[in-house]
Structure 1
Amino acid sequence: MMNSAWGHIIILLLITTSPIIAQEESDPQWSMRGYLSNMLTTDFSGDDITFDNQLHNRLNFQWFPKDNFTFYLDIRTRLLAGNTVKNFPGLGDLLDFNNDYLDMSIHFPKNKSWLVHSMIDRAYMEWYKGDWEIRLGRQRINWGINTIWNPNDLFNAYSYFDFDYVERPGSDALRLTWYTCTNSSVEFASNFRDNFDELTFATLYKSSLGSYDVQLLGAKAGNDIVLGTGWAGNLGNAGFKGEFSYFIPTKDNGPKDALLATIAFDYAFKNSLYLNLSVLFNSDGSSDSQNNPLLLATSGLLTTRYLSPYEWSTFL
């Protein structure tokens, strides 16, 4: 098991040295792209300085068997080393929370100062014809509008603290899209779960209203009924975006009703300086400053209902 895992990782790292590999045809039927990145993290907050390093490899495969069919397979592999891996022997199991319904990852070794974690985070089929599009498999269902927090993103909640993961996690799901006209569409999506209580399915309507793009959604997300809306446009020369989601529990012994609302303003100066001001309100959040959003982001507890442990959060 160990040898096969090592072979898997080594092959992934070696073939990534080629930026693009495809069939030597005028219309290639498949392609592969990938990259390597490295991130060093240093923490000065405690009595001792800690160091962590992450070597990140990504491979993106596409296969085009027919004009209206495409298959996607993306693999993310990380070599982690440093104090965090050494001090938290269960880190590998913690990273597997992004596995979703199907187990598509491996990690090794155990109780060492380094860790290799490899995961298939995209594996889906896409079919399109006329005004219709169908996606089936592990995919990114991106219904969010804002850059920092996304209360409308019911399937793939993520933390902006994880800024080295630009592709974001995927969800094992079915997604249907009907493009009703040039600037509007209706989407239905459902993930895969073993029981109804854990299931999430939703409908999203997108259109334009004046100079704004708007969306409305209704969903059953776990044990909540969710109603939401979002918009994106401009106020003068500044971008203006917002998302609202209202969670209504379906069980009496569950959490209370919750409103998650965020608004954001962004502006790009002529010298390429970019500013973003985002505010998040969570009616079910806490005013206790001892809550750690970094811990929430990495513990597997992060969901759309709990994007932040605080009642008010601000990003600039």
Structure 2
Amino acid sequence: MNPSPKYYITGLIGLSLLFGLFLWPAKSHAQELHFGGYLQAMPLRLATTLPEPLGDQTYYEYRLQSRLNFRADFGSNFSLFAEGRARLFAGDLVRDFPVYADFIDKDDGLVNLSWMPVRSGDVLLHLIPDRLYADWSTGDWNIRAGRQRINWGINMISNPNDVFNIYSVYEFDYPERPGTDAVRVRYFIDWASRLEFAVAPSHDGYRESVAAALYGFDFRGYDLQLIAGWYRNRVALGGGWAGSAGGTGLKGELMFFRDAESPLEGRRGNSFVAAVSADHMFSNGLFVIGELLYNSSGGLENFGLLTQPLSADNPSVSAWQLSTVLQQSLNPLTDASITLITYPDERGAFISPSVTRSLTQNTDAKLLAQFFLGASDSPLADAGSVVLVSVKWNF
């Protein structure tokens, strides 16, 4: 089915009104207003193996997505930000799986801002802001309060240091990455050193909240950071580094988690996550990233676990994960890339090639595929594949 344009227009209007309500009280006092975003059309094909008696199935879905970004500046020290997206879903998944709407219509933040104004038999319209925050700076201090992205990760693929809002490498339609409802305070000691503290309370109480401090500094040309805090009822300690040697970037992150509860209250035990990577740009323009990740809590018992969100203390579907990314500009208008991830202990692999073509100054087209491969007794053997075409207009 082709979704009716009226649903998409409704989503755009709804998202604009939501942001307008956030910025309206201060609109007349703002010195500058900034507006941007994009529109994106994305038909896709999903092939997967489901439990019997369903067996092998192929599904088609049609997505329309818009993103709106607003910023209001009040002098050089204070700004308000409002960003979010509206997505229209139509096709087999919407029609055949009633729980699909529940999977989309959720918000893990302190305040539930997820809104699904259209939820019919074959069409879903979902709106959600992922940035709604105030930013204030004075001297060496910076404070942000509200829904924001707290990016403590260093690696380009896996980020166990991202204890507030980790993202998934399998997410193909969310380059902005998720945010979290938090208060973040930063103090810049000098050009290379800083202190940060952030707290993200949970609507489920302190046990599911996250609070952590970061100290970043330079040591002999390497950027180092140390992290300590509370992560969803677990004590978290770790850090990361970034530097280079011989023109090759070297990065790493590690985290240790220990349960705060006693064994009688459902202790999960200690867990450790580490990811080290190297990246290099060759003279012919080929950019290569290689990463090795170890996750003591990793491991799949069934493919269904792949649909669960990743977390800082369990950021992979296997205990060991070896990732390689190749990126190459084919000509001034065309870029190509391929991502290969192997899971030795799960006897499986993930392959994702893509080609992006610039159509106009503000319009791009992309062809992307994702394939999970696995031995006959591997949970990844049933994960299937996704193939999609995307046309994106930026404004």
TM-score, length-normalised on structure 2? Answer: 0.70
**Residue 222 in structure 1 maps to residue 232 in structure 2:** yes
The correspondence of residues 1-316 of structure 1 with structure 2, limited to 5 A, is 8-11=10-13, 28-46=31-49, 47-110=56-119, 112-194=121-203, 195-251=205-261, 252=263, 253-286=266-299, 288=300, 291-292=302-303, 295-296=304-305, 298-299=307-308, 301-316=309-324
> Does structure 2 conserve the Cα–Cα contact (< 8 Å) formed by 1:12 and 1:59?
no
Q: Which sits farther off after the overlay, 219-228 or 5-14? A: 5-14
Distance 1:100 1:158, change over 3 A: same
Distance in 2 (alpha carbons) for counterparts of 1:222 and 1:14:
34
**Counterpart of 1:244 in 2: which secondary structure?**
strand
Identity %: 35
Root-mean-square deviation over aligned CA pairs? 2.4
Distance 1:186 1:238, change over 3 A: same
> Does structure 1 conserve the Cα–Cα contact (< 8 Å) formed by 2:306 and 2:317?
no
Q: Which amino acid aligns with 1:9?
A: G
Distance in 1 (alpha carbons) for counterparts of 2:240 and 2:180:
21
**Counterpart of 1:308 in 2: which secondary structure?**
coil
Deviation per CA, 1:251-297, whole angstroms, max 9, x where unpaired? Answer: 122211000111111122223222211221111222x5x543xx546
Distance in 1 (alpha carbons) for counterparts of 2:64 and 2:281:
32
Distance in 1 (alpha carbons) for counterparts of 2:233 and 2:291:
28
Q: Name structure 2 gaps, 5 residues minimum.
A: 1-5, 18-29, 50-55, 325-395
Higher relative contact order (CA 8 A, sep 6+): 2
The Cα of 1:210 is off from its aligned counterpart by 1.2
Distance 1:123 1:267, change over 3 A: same
Question: Number of matched residues?
Answer: 297
> Does structure 2 conserve the Cα–Cα contact (< 8 Å) formed by 1:89 and 1:110?
no
Distance in 2 (alpha carbons) for counterparts of 1:128 and 1:239:
31
Distance 1:224 1:8, change over 3 A: same
> Does structure 2 conserve the Cα–Cα contact (< 8 Å) formed by 1:99 and 1:105?
no
Distance in 1 (alpha carbons) for counterparts of 2:31 and 2:15:
23
> Does structure 2 conserve the Cα–Cα contact (< 8 Å) formed by 1:13 and 1:57?
no
Runs of 4 or more, structure 1, over 6 Å off, are 4-7, 12-15
